[in-house]
Structure 1
Amino acid sequence: MNLDKAQKRIEKRVKRGFHGYPMISIQYFGETSALASKVEVSFIEQEDAQPMTESFSSDNDIRKDETVQTTIIKIIDRVDAKTVTLDETVHPLS
């Protein structure tokens, strides 16, 4: 799957809004707000459950990494997520 197609599929799922659980939450992190070098994908199976988090890192902007974006789509599909949230802000690495 190419990068544009993966990003469009993620955006489409985000635009649907809250439809219940299971839920996937996507957050980006980086040294600066212009370069996201890490992404965390959190899976929440049901309300009040502890999230299970998987993270990916890159030396380049991870938002432009076709492999990572395609992997996020596969995670969303695999868990049959009813809701997908995306925080567009690049949070500082801690």
Structure 2
Amino acid sequence: MNLDKSQKRISKRVKRGFCGYPLISIEYFGLSETLATKVEVGFIQEENAEPMLETFNSESDIRQDETVQTTIIKIIDRVDAKTVTLQDKVQLLK
């Protein structure tokens, strides 16, 4: 799957809003607000459950990494996520 298609599918799922559980959360981290080098994908099966986290790292902007974006789509599909959330901005790594 190409990068544009992956990003569009993620965006489309995010725009649906909260539709119940299971829930996937996507959060990007980096040394600046313009360069994300880490992404955390959280999976919550049901309300009040502890999230399971999957982390991916990259030397370049991970938002432009086709392999990582395709993997996120596969995670969403595999768990049949009803809700997908995405943090709007890159969180700064400390």
Q: CA deviation at 1:88?
A: 1.9
Q: Is the counterpart of residue 86 in structure 1 residue 73 in structure 2?
A: no
SS in 2 for 1:89: coil
Which 4+ stretches in 1 moved above 3 angstroms? Answer: none
Q: Does 1:65 align with 2:69?
A: no
AA aligned to 1:14 is: V
What TM-score, normalized to structure 1? 0.99
Percent identity of equivalent pairs: 71
Structure (1/2) with the larger strand percentage? 1
- How many residues align? The count is 94
2: distance between equivalents of 1:35 and 1:68? 15
Unpaired segments ≥5 residues, structure 2 = none
- Structure 2 residue 53 is the aligned partner of structure 1 residue 53: yes
2 CA distance for matches of 1:4 and 1:17? Answer: 21
Structure 1 residue runs of 5 or longer lacking an equivalent are none
TM-score computed with the length of structure 2 as normaliser = 0.99
**Superposition deviation, residue 16 in structure 1:** 0.4
Following the alignment from structure 1 to structure 2, what is the Cα–Cα distance between the partners of residues 52 and 88? 21
The CA RMSD over aligned residues, in Å, is: 0.5
